[in-house]
Chains A and B, each alone.
Chain A
Amino acid sequence: MLSSTDRTKAIRFGGHRLRPEDIHAVTTSWLDETIHDSPAIFCRALVDPGLPITVGTATRIMTPAQISGFRHTGPHRVRPRGLAGRQHTGDNWRIIGQRLEGWRLSVRIKSIEVIGFKSLVKLKLDLPKFCCLTGLNGSGKSTVLQFIDFAAQQVRGEIDSWLRLRGWKNRDVLSKLTSARVVTFRIALEQSNNHDLLWTATFDPHSLMCVSETIQPTDTTAAQAADSPILQVTNGRYRLSKRDEQAIEFKYQGSILSGLLDNKLPSALREVKTFLRTTESLDMLTPERLRERVREARGTLGIGGRNLSAFLADAAAPNIADLTKTLRRAYPQLIDITVRSLRAGWKQLQVTEKFGEKAISTEAQHINDGTLRLLAIFAELASKHGFLVFDEIENGINPELIEMVVKSLSTAPQQVLLTTHSPMILNYLDDQQAKESVIFLYRTRNGFTQAKRLFEIPSLSEKLKVMGPGEAFADTDLQRLSEEITAIHPGEG
């Protein structure tokens, strides 16, 4: 077993020796939980089958059948599972880091279906693991992001605070395009350690709670064999798995999950709740908010990233040294990022750069917007949050850095959703990524937001043969494209 003190032991694979700082990057979140059958085996299995790996004095070889990943079958046990999904490319350390993180992040959203949230009147959206939403202004991109944050907030509770922070009234969640008085949604969740689940809920903006909801496996045989549904709420009563139906004798807002204690939940629900709770939507990422001095972050970047300084200072936060190293690829003059503790628990973010022979420290108020944004983005990528959401990712980022940002986001272990207007962002996707990940949102004649994979549209797919995805996107008259789509499918909405 490799513990954090074993960092100095030599780990080799394929004749290459891992340096201590690389091992550290790998071990941070992972080895601090004691795992048998060390990550050394795990690492090597990912990188190259048949290659012997030495940890200290012990050498092991993995068989091809044991490639790709390990399944968490309990807090102290791992065993190999079969190949699934695409291998990411990149240098060894990133693969290791990603897969290790990926192992832990076992939940992702497969699709959302929204009925009656603002312009999302009847929207079915399949979400690839890495998703780029495009569309004209007003097509509904930000609304989709708001919905995801709204859904995540359901498990946190405190819907009223969420509304106030956004400056919304209760009824603003409803659609002006229909007469529905509730918001209904269905979210399909994929779990690598458990059955896929479907969460269906009806939210009432008057009481600020889900007046009915169910969570059940999507696989019908599992649904019948197991105790299905896993969760069911109707008429003021609730049922969890095998247990008897009970009256709801406590107050909550949003989903009942917000009111139930984590350690009383079945593991499948606990994982889903954690995933949703840590979903971070940075759609209000503004420089002013990133600069704020805050006391404690409680594990999230907060609305608009306001908790950035405290987030970085937290024990659970991504390792600042690693973050600095990553950012130095973009800013070679960067020496250090620190969070100073001021009086009374306030945290102050500070950046130190080298100019010539001098080391200059700059406090958050004076750090430029782009650096702060990049810092927030990479802090999120290095965190354990399961689903990262970014609005107009390109804002404030200078063109030289776009390739690095796209590569980091598209190969992240977490699920990522971003909106963009930028051809440059899209042009750094390879053709396969473009076909899977780029979704075009448009409004029907009735104003309903709908979605389509952009590169499944024949004219875009034809263009992709002779130009990059960003060029194809920029070359297209999107207004006319929207009109054409709505002319072909007038029935929608």
Chain B
Amino acid sequence: MYFLISGEGPADIGICRNGHMVCYGENFRKGPMASVADQIVRSKAMDSIFANASRFEFVANQKLSAVAGGFKAVRKTIRLPGKKAKKETRYFFNNARALAKLAKEKAQHSHAPVVAILFRDADGTASAARGQWADKYQSMLDGFAEENFSGGVPMVPKPKSEAWLICALKAAGHQNCAALENRSGNDHSPNALKDELAGLLPRNGAHDWLCAQIDQDQILINEIDMPSFNKFRTRLEEVLGSVPPG
């Protein structure tokens, strides 16, 4: 099995240390969301995504944009919102298509089934709290399907990844977190999720501390109960289950 992972930045999935757009092994600096995905994988009695440097690859945002550039080059082809696609979803659809395209190339080269995890905040820069979460999530699945790729897993926290982490750190028994999903995703709002999370983390080295805690199963994030997280976990388990091991 081969893992392709992509996110928005170092604070979620991670970043390449050498500034490249694609990397693996030691060149990849893991972010908390990568650890989250990994915890679910390990909970299924499978090896960590990162156990074998040659079995995973990180794809940066810019690489997906470059691949998506190939779709947009044909100006005549324009996909419009309508009955089949809602507004404020095209960004998610196109990024999913781009990752699916890369995943299929990888599958051909490595002769192994590929699982592609695509992280995007629901209320991140591209949509800024417009549009519906369910439509965005679905459009990622549609984007994977557009390229006939069946191993795609949308990782779309609502409104942002901070909500999942706060739930894991704060809530007793990780329950009753659904209310977090209705909070504003705006980092500049009065009680921003970003600030609330920062208050729960050590002042220095928060990033590494979080990753370590999740990797060592000290924070059992895979047990949280939040609609957007549940969707992610279910789908990831589904894809892992459908793929023959090795």
Contacts and interface: CB of A to CB of B under 8 A. Distances in A.
Interface of A: 403, 423-424, 427-428, 458-459, 462-463, 465-468, 470-472, 474-477, 480-481, 484
Contacts of B98: 466
B228 interface: no
A481 B98 CA distance: 27
Contact of A468 (B78, B91, B128): B78
Nearest to B95: A466
B75 interface: yes
B130 A471 contact: no
A199 B130 CA distance: 42
Contacts of A428: 75
Contact of A467 (B72, B76, B130, B131): B72
Contacts of B128: 458-459, 484
Nearest to A428: B75
Nearest to B82: A474
Nearest to A475: B90
Q: Which of A466, A467, A470, A484: most chain B Cβ within 10 A?
A: A466
Contacts, number: 74
B78 A475 contact: no
Q: Which of A427, A428, A468, A480: most chain B Cβ within 10 A?
A: A468
A471 B78 contact: yes
Query: Closest 6 CB pairs between A and B?
Result: A466-B68, A475-B90, A466-B94, A465-B65, A462-B126, A459-B128
B127 interface: yes
A481 B89 CA distance: 15
B125 interface: yes
B125 A476 contact: no
B179 interface: no
A479 B81 CA distance: 15
Contacts of A462: 91, 125-126
Contact of B91 (A458, A463, A474): A463
A463 B78 contact: no
A474 B65 contact: no
A477 B131 contact: yes
Contacts of B91: 462-463, 466-467, 475
B131 A474 contact: no
Given A424-B78, A475-B89, A476-B87, 19 more contacts: A427-B76, A459-B125, A459-B130, A462-B125, A463-B126, A465-B68, A466-B64, A467-B68, A467-B90, A471-B72, A471-B80, A472-B90, A474-B80, A475-B81, A475-B90, A475-B91, A476-B130, A477-B130, A484-B130
